[in-house]
């Protein structure tokens, strides 16, 4: 018997105590399964999954619109990182379910595979199909609240990590109907990040407004100092969507082609309704963008609706060209890639029972959709071509140009391939690494020979390769592909990465799986020229190697913006936020913080956490001050035992006078509403004494303070640290003593009258004796500095390039790099004041 066989127990002699019986089986109750395996339900625990949670809740509101009951949705990101979504639909049912004996709202938020989308008549079309959406968000949230406006009453319920913390109760009266859901992502689940990106959410809201004509969506991000609500409303829906995609490009025909039809089919002895809307418009660019949606849910990987549409477009153009003798014998054959060049299209279908690849709905699998979309698109295009022969001829001529350019590009690619084979396979300027596993290899694309030299000397030769590029690259947005491929720098880049290039599904020249490096890092100077070169590089990668971006291979290096020096301490700083943190850290050195009342001195190890907590109080407090109340005043309303803070802030304007009150909880809010004679919406303009008046004499608003939970945690932590912060308003007597350089000749002592003054004083102290050097170019750093700051995996900071919004990315590349100058000038004028770092 071999050594391997000796390591195995004999089949007739099982391991004692390893009996496999029913006791070894387990069962996850309620939403525990979601917390244990979030990837099964929301697609992971990364940033994409975080934003998918928003979509899950949002899709329920959109389903209300599809059912004809919702006209407005409000989405708000709060200062504490939570988010609220409110609609004016019917409101989730709150009555007791006849079978399960619990309120409907509790059932749909705590029980998997429950809801109104299983054929009971609640919804005809819906983005949700599995009954796991909102309850999964509940499971992965630190806290989750729902308010239902229904039957003239406001019903309220709260949860923590999927478990009910407050049963359904009535907290007030309501005029209309609707649902308000608020939640904060749980950092125990989303360990990568719990920070919502406003751009990403805004893009999704814009899509929904386009796909649902007549739906108004208001989006507010309260985190900036001056929030600016955005309104999305499009009366012409998908037609306006396609027009926006083509902004900055010259359309071949002024009005998009719209094809729409409702049909039904029998599947498994069940009638399935399918509504198809296809809108397309050709432009003069060399790229295509086709976006697919099912019941308003984006399907980034396409599916059967996309394949049906693509085959129909190719067939219709070839058929019309052949029937009308537009093609000559010497002309090349027009392929699917050719007819898609310059095509912008949106495919939106509504399906009563769609089938998706997964819960995240990235790809539609319903086989019946392909035939329906294909036949409808073909018939619609043939009719349009017959009635608009001039437009049809322009589209066919563009497709012919694309076919000729494709042939020229094929020859250029072949030249590159042969040159690479004859020259050893890699460009001469490439300093390659010794590692051969692509997953471990990094390619730095560096601006200029000078920085390239420093990078080559400072790199880790085992796994870091350097490719310096000289001068500006060709703008691949304006030039045809054959001209782009004749550019020496582009050829070196293609040869180094090895994937080839291409944009069409049938183009075998581009194979992202063959990439020699799984980290392709663009490293340019932090100035105007560096930004331009980076944009040119990203333009080429986006247009010709999009697959490596989609696989997450492309990154942008973040050289430090500052080097700070104080005494013997030297440090590199990436951004202003980090600089602010460093100021607090430096300001805490060589100081003594003491309570003035009893002269208690805080140990140095206690000071840093206290300062961090006070700084967090300041940041979260911006949500309070924005509504007209002082942060110190609000904090002083905390409960002295539990440190809990009021949940609501009211503002009362009567004539020229304004006052505000804090309301502890829902009961206090209900009592206040009764006192004022208001409904739960609490946005009232009411004339005095009930008399009619064009100018209201009293206006009452109630703002929910979503930051209250986080602020309460901070107050408890400060109390535990012994700060003695029972009062935050400035007192007459000093409360803290701030001593610098204790025991030295230049010892100074400052009296502080409020806990909030501690942070300001430490920032002031942090700037003393500090020198700040601003870096502009990589060449200003020697090889050692460059490696330590920008290339060392332990210290560097990389930004991954992703494509969260294909339409927006396409439009931005066209705007910045395309032929149309006026839109670019307008963009610069509109954003000139938003520039953070300007080199002049």
Question: What secondary structure letter does DSSP report for 575?
Answer: S
Phi, psi of 543 (to 5 degrees): -80, -35
Please, are residues 588 and 602 in contact by the beta-carbon 8 Å criterion?
Answer: no
Dihedral Cα 556, 557, 562, 565, nearest 10 deg: 160
Query: What would the two tokens of residue 667 be?
Result: 């009961």
Dihedral Cα 278, 282, 285, 290, nearest 10 deg: 10
Alpha-carbon distances of 315 from 323, 374, 382, 385, 407, rounded to whole Å:
12, 10, 10, 13, 21
| Catalytic site residue from 222, 230, 301, 527 | 527
| Beta bridge partners of residue 650, listed in sequence order | 661, 702
Strand order in the sheet with 771-774: 569-573, 562-566, 771-774
In which residue are the tokens 């940033």 written? 47
Closest CA to 611 of 634, 638, 633, 591: 591
Task: Count Cα neighbours of 594 within 13 Å in the Cβ-side half-sphere.
Answer: 14
CA 10 to chain centre: 55
> What is the DSSP code string of 426-448?
S-TT-B--S---GGG-EEEEEES
Instruction: Quote the CA–CA distance of 275 and 258 in Å, as a whole number.
Output: 13
| Beta bridge partners of residue 275, listed in sequence order | 262, 350
- In terms of Cβ atoms closer than 10 Å to its own Cβ (0-12, 13-18, 19+), residue 696 is middle
Residue 525 known to be catalytic: yes
Phi, psi of 626 (to 5 degrees): -65, -30
| Catalytic site residue from 32, 160, 216, 529 | 529
Please, are residues 83 and 181 in contact by the beta-carbon 8 Å criterion?
Answer: no
Mapped onto helix, strand or coil, the DSSP state of residue 153 is: strand
Please, are residues 162 and 30 in contact by the beta-carbon 8 Å criterion?
Answer: yes
Q: 699-713: string of b/e by CB count within 10 Å (b at 16+)?
A: ebbbbbbbbbbbbbe
Please, are residues 370 and 312 in contact by the beta-carbon 8 Å criterion?
Answer: no
Closest CA to 347 of 295, 286, 273: 295
- Please provide the distance, in angstroms rounded to a whole number, between the alpha carbons at the two ends of the chain: 79
Instruction: Quote the CA–CA distance of 630 and 635 in Å, as a whole number.
Output: 9
Task: Count Cα neighbours of 689 within 13 Å in the Cβ-side half-sphere.
Answer: 2
| Catalytic site residue from 447, 666, 707, 710 | 447
Phi, psi of 447 (to 5 degrees): -80, 115
| Catalytic site residue from 147, 489, 525, 704 | 525
SS3 per residue for 687-728: CHHHCCCCCCCEEEEEEECCCHHHHHHHHHHHHHCCCCCCCC
CA 816 to chain centre: 22
Mapped onto helix, strand or coil, the DSSP state of residue 776 is: coil
Contacts of 586 (CB under 8 A, 6+ apart): 566, 569, 765, 766, 770
Q: Which helix (H) or strand (E) holds 319?
A: helix 304-323
Please, are residues 134 and 34 in contact by the beta-carbon 8 Å criterion?
Answer: no
Instruction: Quote the CA–CA distance of 221 and 78 in Å, as a whole number.
Output: 7
Residue 527 known to be catalytic: yes
Q: Compute the chain's Rg from CA coordinates.
A: 31
Catalytic machinery residues = 447, 525, 527, 529
């Amino acid at each position: 018997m071999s050594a391997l066989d000796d390591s195995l127990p004999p089949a007739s002699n099982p391991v004692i105590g390893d009996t496999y019986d029913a006791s070894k089986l387990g069962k996850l109750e309620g939403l525990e399964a979601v917390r244990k395996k979030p990837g099964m339900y929301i697609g992971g625990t990364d940033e994409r999954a975080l934003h998918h949670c928003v979509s899950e809740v949002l899709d329920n509101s959109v389903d209300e619109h599809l059912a004809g009951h919702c006209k407005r949705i409000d989405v708000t990101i709060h200062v504490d990182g939570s988010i609220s979504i409110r609609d004016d639909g019917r409101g989730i049912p709150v009555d007791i379910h006849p079978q399960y004996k619990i309120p409907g709202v509790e059932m749909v938020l705590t029980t998997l595979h429950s809801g109104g989308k299983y054929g009971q008549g609640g919804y005809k079309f819906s983005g949700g199909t599995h009954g796991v959406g909102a309850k999964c968000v509940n499971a992965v949230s630190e806290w989750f609240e729902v308010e239902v406006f229904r039957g003239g009453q406001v019903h309220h319920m709260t949860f923590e990590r999927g478990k009910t913390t407050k049963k359904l109760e009535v907290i007030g009266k309501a005029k209309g109907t609707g649902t308000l859901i608020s939640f904060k992502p749980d950092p125990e689940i989303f360990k990568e990040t719990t920070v919502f990106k406003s751009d990403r959410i805004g893009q999704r809201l814009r899509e929904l407004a386009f796909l649902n004509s007549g739906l108004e969506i208001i989006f507010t991000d309260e985190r900036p100092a001056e929030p600016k609500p955005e309104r999305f409303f499009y009366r012409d829906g998908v037609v306006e969507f396609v027009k926006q995609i083509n902004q900055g490009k010259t359309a071949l025909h002024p009005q998009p082609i719209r094809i729409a039809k409702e049909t039904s089919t029998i599947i498994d002895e069940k009638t399935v309704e399918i509504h198809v809307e296809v809108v397309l418009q050709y432009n003069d660019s060399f790229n295509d963008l086709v976006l697919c949606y099912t019941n308003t849910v984006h399907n980034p990987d396409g599916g059967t609706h996309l394949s049906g549409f693509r085959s129909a477009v190719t067939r219709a153009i070839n058929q019309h060209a052949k029937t009308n003798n537009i093609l000559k014998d010497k002309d090349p054959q027009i392929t699917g890639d050719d007819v898609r060049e310059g095509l912008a299209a949106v495919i939106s279908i509504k399906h009563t029972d769609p089938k998706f690849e997964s819960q995240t709905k990235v790809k539609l699998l319903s086989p019946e959709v392909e035939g329906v979309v294909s036949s409808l698109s073909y018939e619609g295009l043939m009719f349009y071509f017959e009635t608009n022969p001039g437009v049809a001829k322009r589209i066919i001529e563009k497709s012919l140009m694309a076919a000729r350019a494709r042939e020229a590009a094929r020859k250029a690619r072949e030249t590159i391939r042969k040159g690479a084979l004859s020259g050893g396979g890699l460009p001469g300027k490439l300093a390659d690494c010794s590692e051969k596993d692509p997953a471990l290899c990094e390619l730095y694309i560096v601006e200029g020979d000078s920085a390239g030299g420093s990078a080559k000397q400072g790199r880790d030769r085992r796994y870091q390769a350097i490719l310096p590029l000289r001068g500006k690259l060709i703008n691949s947005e304006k030039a045809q592909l054959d001209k782009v491929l004749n550019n020496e720098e582009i050829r070196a880049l293609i040869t180094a990465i090895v994937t080839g290039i291409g944009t069409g599904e049938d183009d075998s020249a581009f194979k992202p799986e063959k990439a020699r490096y799984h980290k392709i890092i663009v490293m340019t100077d932090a100035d105007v020229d560096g930004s331009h070169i980076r944009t040119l590089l990203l333009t080429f990668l986006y247009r010709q190697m999009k697959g490596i971006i989609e696989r997450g291979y492309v990154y942008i290096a973040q050289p430090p913006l500052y080097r700070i020096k104080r005494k013997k301490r030297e440090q590199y700083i990436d951004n202003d936020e980090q600089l602010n943190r460093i100021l607090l850290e430096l300001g805490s050195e060589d100081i003594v913080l003491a309570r003035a009342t009893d002269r208690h001195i805080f140990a140095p190890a206690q000071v840093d956490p206290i300062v961090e907590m006070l700084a967090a109080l300041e940041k979260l407090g911006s949500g309070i001050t924005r509504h007209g109340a002082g942060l110190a005043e609000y904090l002083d309303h905390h409960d002295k035992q539990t440190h809990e803070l009021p949940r609501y802030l009211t503002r009362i304007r009567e004539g020229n006078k304004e006052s505000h009150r804090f309301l502890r909880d829902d009961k206090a809010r209900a009592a206040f509403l009764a006192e004022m004679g208001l409904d739960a919406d609490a946005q009232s303009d009411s004339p005095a004494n009930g008399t009619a008046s064009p100018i209201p004499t009293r206006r009452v608003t109630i703002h929910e303070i979503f930051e209250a939970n986080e602020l309460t945690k901070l107050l408890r932590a400060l109390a535990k640290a012994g700060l003695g912060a029972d009062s935050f308003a400035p007192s007459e007597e000093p409360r803290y003593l701030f001593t610098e350089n204790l025991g030295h000749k230049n010892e100074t002592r400052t009296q502080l009258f409020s806990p909030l003054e501690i942070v300001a004083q430490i920032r002031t102290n942090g700037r003393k004796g500090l020198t700040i050097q601003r870096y502009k170019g990589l060449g200003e750093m020697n090889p050692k500095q460059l490696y330590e700051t920008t290339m060392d995996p332990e210290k560097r900071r990389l930004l991954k390039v992703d494509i969260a919004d294909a339409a927006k990315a396409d439009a931005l590349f066209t705007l910045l790099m395309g032929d149309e100058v006026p839109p670019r000038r307008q963009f610069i004028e509109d954003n000139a004041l938003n520039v953070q770092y300007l080199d002049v």
